[in-house]
Structure 1
Amino acid sequence: MQKKLNIALLAMCCAPVCAQTHTDSIGQHSRLEVEAACTFAESQLGQNADMPQGVTMVNSNKNVFASEVSYRFAPTHLRYRAYNPMYNEVYINGVLMNNAETGQFRYPTIGGIGVQGLNFDSSLPFEDFGYGMTAMGGSNNYNFRAADMKRGQHIEWTGANRNYTMGGAYSYVSGLNENGWAFAGTLSYRWAKQGYVDGTPLRSLSYYLSVQKVLNDNHSLAFATWGSPSKRAQYGASTDEAFQLADDRQYNPYWGYYNDKKRNSRVVREFAPTALLTWDWNINEKTRLSTSLQGQYAWYRCTRLNYNGENPYADSWLKMPSSIYNVWNPSDPANTADAKARWEKACTEWAADKSNRQLDWERMYWFNEQVATQGTDAMYWLEARHNDNLNVSIASTLDKRLTNKSSLRAGFNLATNKGMHYQTINSLLGATQMHNVNTYAIAHYPAASDKVQYDLNNRDAVLGKGDRMGYDYNILMNKAKVWGAYIEDFGPLHYSLSARMGYQSMQRDGKMRNGMAADNSFGKSRTKDFFDGGLKFGSSLDMGCGHTLIFGMGYEQRAPQAAAVFASPEVNNDIAVNLKNEKLFSTEVGYMYNGSWLHANINGYYSYVKDASDWQSFYMDNTNELVYNSITGLKKKYYGLEAGLKFDICKTLDMKLVGTISEAQTTDNALSRYMFACHGTYNDDVLLSKDMHEAGTPLTAASLGVNYHQRGWTVGVDCNYYDRIYLDYSTYNRLQRIANGESMEQAKGKGGFMLNCSIGRSARVMRGLLNINLSITNLTNNRNICTGGYESNYDVRQPNTDASGASLYNFAKNPRKFYAFGTSGMLNITYSF
């Protein structure tokens, strides 16, 4: 053992120790690991819909760190190199599937597909990729051709206490028969009366069907269709004060009892049926052309509670005990004996009964029934925000082998997209009427003013369930991209040079004539055009004896995402000012060693983003106002080290050590144009964004794992560490005129250790293979690891005071957070035959 350890150290130091290259893939993961990673990735989708969905999946057959990052660090939603998921591109049969407006791929659209979903190629940022220029955060391509899938049948049952509690699936793959036909299909269902977080039921049905006909030696046609209709309830972030009083790190403020049953105010329904037709043409032995046509219609709806009165959420700042007594400053004049007594009573009541800290649906219904008798509008109602999407795209890829050591790849992507954004009444909660008027503006304008009308073409419309209210607009997009790549082995040097060029057009089409922009909201806006492109070089130098040096460099310009192009799309047609293409520079150097019993890599990277843009909408907590904020001119840098080591101690025991320490922050101030929904006018200011960090992902993470495998048994234990987890910063309170010269430190969450373990058994049963796997995450039940959150947005110019003018609730001390799940398990039983 000591000898092996010494040799390992020598190999890491590039000593000339020759070893046969290990041919086994280090990036292979069990079905249980993939399912576990997807479960935690989807669990983030159950969080607050206002939060960005930071889900990134990468893999590698050579890089130890990249092969583990998506699986080992899934419980804390670690993003590869802290990049926004829009920098990670996902293809299916060569067609880019990232959302056209946000640039992010929604994993629920292929959720539950089963073993077919494991058939994919993954390329790191400077590796070869067969379907385009590799994205800054890597690219994946899923192969949904029936003939390329492993023949057989697969039955699966899963029990868990995560975002779902039970699931089952059946998959069938025929293989290619003598007549040239192949069929594949999956049907699965996942269910939870309540997920790990209180008040979060889930129902999800998934289907996949593929048929392929090999016409002859040169031509093949493949058709695939899939979808995953689902309904899930979300959970919201809250403050440490609320978590402590509830004695629960997964306290969820979004639900309450109604008719003695739990009812959640944030419920998501989504369904994105997709069809894909692929034609493969083997032109000759050295040339292959693949063309795919894809169509998708996606429905997405998320309900939320709105009100024209007192905030109904139990964790709203006015209902928290710290709004009575200043716990942050004992010498505050407000801290009288009476205030302390009222604070103690509030703490006792808040913690005494679960119903005291949840939504009071019965109370809301009672108030609405009272106003209904007076003929006035609802005080509380459920609205549903819809983000529907129609996308049609075609992609073609030519792969030509030039010589035994060189090849050429080229292709194009064309896409057209219609994003439909609107809001409807989901329930009036016992009220009888609701008018389509701006409740935020009524306090500032006369009731008869045009300003309070959401749609001047249909003034004072009386709304019922299902009617559209507030906003209704489409985003129309067209995209075109051409790309090419040259790959060559030049002696010990393998390198690739790729390039792309693209065009995008974006336009808003308003369906309501908003009173805040009577002449600039109904109908189509002007079209905004962007041309972009990029170059990338990647290389690896084989130094012999398993040693490899890696180098890559790239520069590209990317059109801004459509989600950030319009300044206030829920109100008018205005396009954001100072909008430019993003400029991205990225580079990487690395060393890799692959031996018979040792695999190691260390990589350093640096990326710089200039002229990035963003768009936000948020509520001001202390003034109950809606704000739209368009941000341009962002500059960001990402750099760090990532390392991985896989050490085969003996034939049955191996050890993996992976880790990263990174930095991801904004390097300069940006420009902000914001609008209060109650006024409809813009304010321009400087956003003090310098030194703000990327949020919702650990910037430091490490994992040590040991795996034992013999005679069908596998046992694994790993200990993970997370640190430097930042929260999304408040852009409003960092506006120059609001901050008034004061600097605000960005809020952080606490990291820590997490211990995970798994045990599995594989055995031949009759003519099939039975696998039983049990994984337990967070065995020590560490619930103190923060996985993300955000600072409160509040108007510091309107202090929260009592009658004597003393300060009370402290928003700056009460950011809203999410915490990691405690001990959770998953039992997975599969039978393949």
Structure 2
Amino acid sequence: MKQRLGLAIVLFCLTPALLAQQKAKQNAREDNASFMFTESQLNEEDDTAQSTSALVTSNNDVYLSNVGYLFSPMRFRVRGYDSQYSDMYINGVQFNDVETGRFSYGLIGGLNDATRNKEGIGPFEVNNFTFGAIGGATNINLRASQYAAGSKLTLSGSNRNYILRGMYTYSTGLMNNGWAFTGSLGYRWGNEGNIEGIKYNSFSYFLGAEKVFNERHSLSLATWGTPTERGQQMAATEEAYYLANSHYYNPNWGYQNGEKRNARIVRQFEPSAIASWNFNIDDNKKLVTSAGFKYSNYGKSALGWNGNAADPRPDYYKKLPSSIFDVWESVPTPDELQQFNEVTDNWKNNKAYRQLDWDALYFANKQANSLGKEALYYVEERHDDQLAFNFNSVFNHQWNERNSYVAGIAVNTTKGMHYKKMKDLLGAQLYTDVDKFAVRDHGASSTMIQNDLDNPNRRIGEGDKFGYNYNIYVNKQSAWIRYQGNNAGSLNYFVSGKIGSTQMFRDGQMRNGRAPLKSLGSSGTAKFLEGGVKAGLSWAINGNHSFTLNAGYEDRAPLAYNSFIAPRIKNDFVKDLKTERIFGGDLTYNFNTSWVMGRLTGYYTRFQNQVEMDAFYNDSEARFTYLSMNGIEKEHWGIEAAATFKLTSELSLTAIGTWSDAKYANNPDAVLTYESENESNLDRVYAKGLHANGTPLSAYSLALDYNINGWFFNLTGNYYDRVYIDFSSYRRLGSVLDKNGAGVDANGNPVLNVPGQEKLDGGFMLDASIGKFIRLRNGKSISLNLSLTNILNNTDLRTGGFEQNRDDNYKDGDARIYKFSKNSKYFYAFPFNAFLNIGYRF
């Protein structure tokens, strides 16, 4: 008994917590988890979920099956990996965006009941649908025969991004004639949750049909879509949050004729379809072949301004009190102090002052109309549309009781369509398709100002494309095989290999004046040979304890999103573009006894030859900027631990924790390009030692679960630490550091003063849930679940942020008025919020 108590204490210290695995509770948790992933953990710029998909769905792993939902309010990413390293499959077909590498959760938003059948795997887990990615993989099963017969009606309410959700799902089950049909409809609506200016409107549909011809053959068809319109939130500086008296201030919206209007609206519709053929060759052989299609129409709006028009953003740094004088060093003049106090008073006491002034934008355009001048302000919609076809076929052979192998092939072809169009001229009558920055630098008569040289000075109306228009084509092919064996049940092992290729090219639809010979037509094709190997060994000491050792190496083609220096204006590939190298492994101790189960894992991963691209408006240069880095090296390592203790038959205690490190291991080469120029400048970014951003590198949780008579209760405390903000690569360019002045070492030699990376304060969050599963007559049932997040209303917990891309020196520190960084912007975890889910199955 003392030994058991000692082991429990050790595990408790190593792995502080989680929830139990009862079926009703699992379903309720998935409802809430999908809500969190789909709507709340969206990156501001690319709207991609920042959490690894396998987290929600790996039901046989205490750690992976829980951390996705548990830590989602802090945008947690397993091992600090970007979500491009996690694969999402639907009916065996991969649906990651091949340009960005990431899966858009908006593709299946609002289809929680239809997408509940999932299989999730970790980086080295054996499976029957993929070679596997370093961040794990998930396969969603949409075969109509896999749904239980009957109907389910679900109603949900919350105070997050949407406030109401309704879903209805009906399935026939597999009928005597071999047919099965399943359909689902959903609607999500919100006229502001806990962030002002964010409206939400989304419809979702799913239809599946399957014909089982006999014991050997079946054919499945599935189609779905989720047309969605939603407003976005923007991060802000600490100064703006302080003046607005809220960490949930959103500068994206303002009043127009007394009504709220958000400048950043995302419109997304991705109708998709899959056809799958299952062929059971015999009792030991199976072939599954699937073909998938997706058309993505994705646009996000943003304010634009022209000529000498002032920046309309209410939180533009020159409109803040701190721009009047340096509150740390300067002694203000009486005029400066008066102006400072007036601006501060307006920010604090006049809500309209700190929001967009739509009426003023319309008035400015009206004045321009009267003078026959160009629009000063407008709303553009930037499109990243996509047409994708995927083919996947997997052969599974159970050789004998101890040996099996799986082999698969996959083909993808994708056309990405990138352009922007005029959404709203805000009452203006004239807009010409020229580059305003090039006009400033080269004059109105220069050909360099033309965005489309073949249609110079083209007048643009609402709905017209302008600025840029290009396509990115990506083709991928791969084949893989995995062999798995065991030795009398105590020793299990696998070895797998993969080989593939990727081809990509840009096809410009406009001849740009800054790059007349490099913008129109094809860039030529870049080709990459890919491959990888994995192996794993598991040794079961006995039925309760085992060790697993895994290792792998992969050559991976760079993402098309990062492969071009300035894709909006020209065809140039990144210099010395190479395949990315990934190698690493992990060692795990698993334990499963009558009173405790869990695991302890140590891991290490090294990335080489990575490529990253930043595209941003440069305040210092007053023009759009591209900054491409290549030859990046990173290393990720750490410890993961989880354990569930069965205290009584109704009460369990779960502890979970991770301590990890993820950082740059070198100073990568860089190319700097301005959209108003045709030249690119070679440089270097001093990033060595800087950390992965926007995710807690340390996270710990302790949970109590109580289950009795169909009721379940959960109370969870989570602590997060070591969250770093996204550093500005522009501020760490060698040329920028030289301009800002170099320091001197002990020997008098010049040394670059590379800015450090801001680490955010750690914080605690308390969550709870209560639920009830009620069985009714004739197989009917009711499920109730209420989840409460951030019960203590910790409104000071920052989930991440980013430095603005300016090269001016700035400081962090305390002032009498407020504490803030003049440059960095931050995101905060939601305040106290609730999610109520009611399901009725009949």
TM-score strictly above 0.5:
yes
CA–CA distance in 1 between the matches of 2:497 and 2:526? 24
CA–CA distance in 1 between the matches of 2:680 and 2:22? 54
Q: CA deviation at 1:45?
A: 5.6
Q: CA deviation at 1:40?
A: 2.2
* Alignment correspondent of 1:817: 826
Kept after mapping to 2: 8 A contact 1:635/1:666: yes
- 1:784 maps to 2:796: yes
Q: CA deviation at 1:354?
A: 1.4
Kept after mapping to 2: 8 A contact 1:760/1:773: yes
CA–CA distance in 1 between the matches of 2:791 and 2:482? 47
Correspondent of 2:680 among 658, 664, 682: 682
Alignment of 1:423-434 (within 5 A): 423-434=420-431
1:403 aligns to what SS in structure 2? coil
Correspondent of 1:706 among 704, 721, 724: 704
Correspondent of 2:52 among 46, 50, 56: 56
Correspondent of 2:407 among 407, 410, 413: 410
Q: CA deviation at 1:3?
A: 9.1
Correspondent of 2:27 among 21, 25, 31: 31
CA–CA distance in 1 between the matches of 2:290 and 2:181? 18
* Alignment correspondent of 1:763: 774
Correspondent of 2:276 among 255, 275, 278: 278
CA–CA distance in 2 between the matches of 1:348 and 1:31? 50
Q: RMSD of the TM alignment (CA)? A: 2.1
Q: CA deviation at 1:53?
A: 4.3
Q: Mind listing any 5+ residue stretches in structure 2 that lack a counterpart?
A: 15-19, 739-751, 812-817
- 1:742 maps to 2:753: yes
* Alignment correspondent of 2:476: 479
Kept after mapping to 2: 8 A contact 1:382/1:428: yes
1:535 aligns to what SS in structure 2? strand
2:441 aligns to what SS in structure 1? coil
- 1:97 maps to 2:99: no
* Alignment correspondent of 1:320: 320
Residue identity matched to 2:772: R
Alignment of 1:60-209 (within 5 A): 60-209=58-207
Q: CA deviation at 1:2?
A: 8.5
* Alignment correspondent of 1:469: 466
Kept after mapping to 2: 8 A contact 1:12/1:593: no
- Per-residue CA deviations over 1:430-470 (Å, capped at 9, x if unaligned) read 11011000011111011010110000010000000010111
Alignment of 1:210-609 (within 5 A): 210-308=208-306, 309-329=309-329, 332-333=330-331, 335-491=332-488, 492-609=490-607
Cα pair distance change 1:25/1:409, threshold 3 Å: farther
Q: CA deviation at 1:605?
A: 0.3
Cα pair distance change 1:2/1:647, threshold 3 Å: same
- Per-residue CA deviations over 1:87-115 (Å, capped at 9, x if unaligned) read 10111111111001001011110111122
Kept after mapping to 2: 8 A contact 1:451/1:515: yes
Kept after mapping to 2: 8 A contact 1:123/1:138: yes
Kept after mapping to 2: 8 A contact 1:25/1:62: no
- Per-residue CA deviations over 1:162-216 (Å, capped at 9, x if unaligned) read 1110000001121111111111111010000113211000011111111100001
Cα pair distance change 1:47/1:552, threshold 3 Å: closer
Q: CA deviation at 1:750?
A: 2.6
Residue identity matched to 1:756: D
Cα pair distance change 1:44/1:452, threshold 3 Å: farther
- Per-residue CA deviations over 1:757-789 (Å, capped at 9, x if unaligned) read 111122123431111111110000001111121
CA–CA distance in 2 between the matches of 1:725 and 1:373? 52
Cα pair distance change 1:177/1:43, threshold 3 Å: closer
- Per-residue CA deviations over 1:330-388 (Å, capped at 9, x if unaligned) read xx24x234323322221111010211100000000000010011111111110000000
- Per-residue CA deviations over 1:645-667 (Å, capped at 9, x if unaligned) read 10111111111110101000000
Q: CA deviation at 1:813?
A: 4.0
Pick which of 29-38 and 189-198 moved more.
Answer: 29-38
CA–CA distance in 2 between the matches of 1:10 and 1:752? 24
Q: Mind listing any 5+ residue stretches in structure 1 that lack a counterpart?
A: 15-23, 801-808
Pick which of 588-597 and 617-626 moved more.
Answer: 617-626
- Per-residue CA deviations over 1:217-247 (Å, capped at 9, x if unaligned) read 1100000001111000001010000001111
2:499 aligns to what SS in structure 1? strand
CA–CA distance in 1 between the matches of 2:11 and 2:660? 25
How many aligned residue pairs are there? 813
CA–CA distance in 1 between the matches of 2:3 and 2:606? 43
Cα pair distance change 1:11/1:678, threshold 3 Å: closer
Kept after mapping to 1: 8 A contact 2:25/2:771: no
CA–CA distance in 1 between the matches of 2:620 and 2:830? 30
Pick which of 225-234 and 62-71 moved more.
Answer: 62-71
CA–CA distance in 2 between the matches of 1:719 and 1:810? 28
1:433 aligns to what SS in structure 2? coil
Cα pair distance change 1:28/1:686, threshold 3 Å: farther
Kept after mapping to 1: 8 A contact 2:653/2:703: yes
1:503 aligns to what SS in structure 2? strand
Kept after mapping to 1: 8 A contact 2:34/2:112: no
Kept after mapping to 1: 8 A contact 2:237/2:820: no
Q: CA deviation at 1:47?
A: 5.1
- Per-residue CA deviations over 1:404-423 (Å, capped at 9, x if unaligned) read 11111001001111000001
Cα pair distance change 1:461/1:13, threshold 3 Å: closer
- Per-residue CA deviations over 1:283-310 (Å, capped at 9, x if unaligned) read 0110000000111111000000011211
CA–CA distance in 1 between the matches of 2:144 and 2:581? 40
Cα pair distance change 1:813/1:260, threshold 3 Å: closer
Residue identity matched to 1:758: S
- Per-residue CA deviations over 1:604-636 (Å, capped at 9, x if unaligned) read 000000000011101112442110111100000
Cα pair distance change 1:290/1:46, threshold 3 Å: closer
- 1:828 maps to 2:837: yes
Cα pair distance change 1:216/1:318, threshold 3 Å: same
* Alignment correspondent of 1:18: none
1:350 aligns to what SS in structure 2? helix
CA–CA distance in 1 between the matches of 2:787 and 2:3? 33
Correspondent of 1:40 among 29, 36, 40: 36
Kept after mapping to 2: 8 A contact 1:705/1:717: yes
1:456 aligns to what SS in structure 2? coil
Cα pair distance change 1:448/1:53, threshold 3 Å: farther
Cα pair distance change 1:254/1:397, threshold 3 Å: same
1:49 aligns to what SS in structure 2? coil
CA–CA distance in 1 between the matches of 2:460 and 2:839? 50
Percent pairwise identity: 37
CA–CA distance in 2 between the matches of 1:268 and 1:11? 45
* Alignment correspondent of 2:746: none
Kept after mapping to 1: 8 A contact 2:239/2:819: no
* Alignment correspondent of 1:806: none
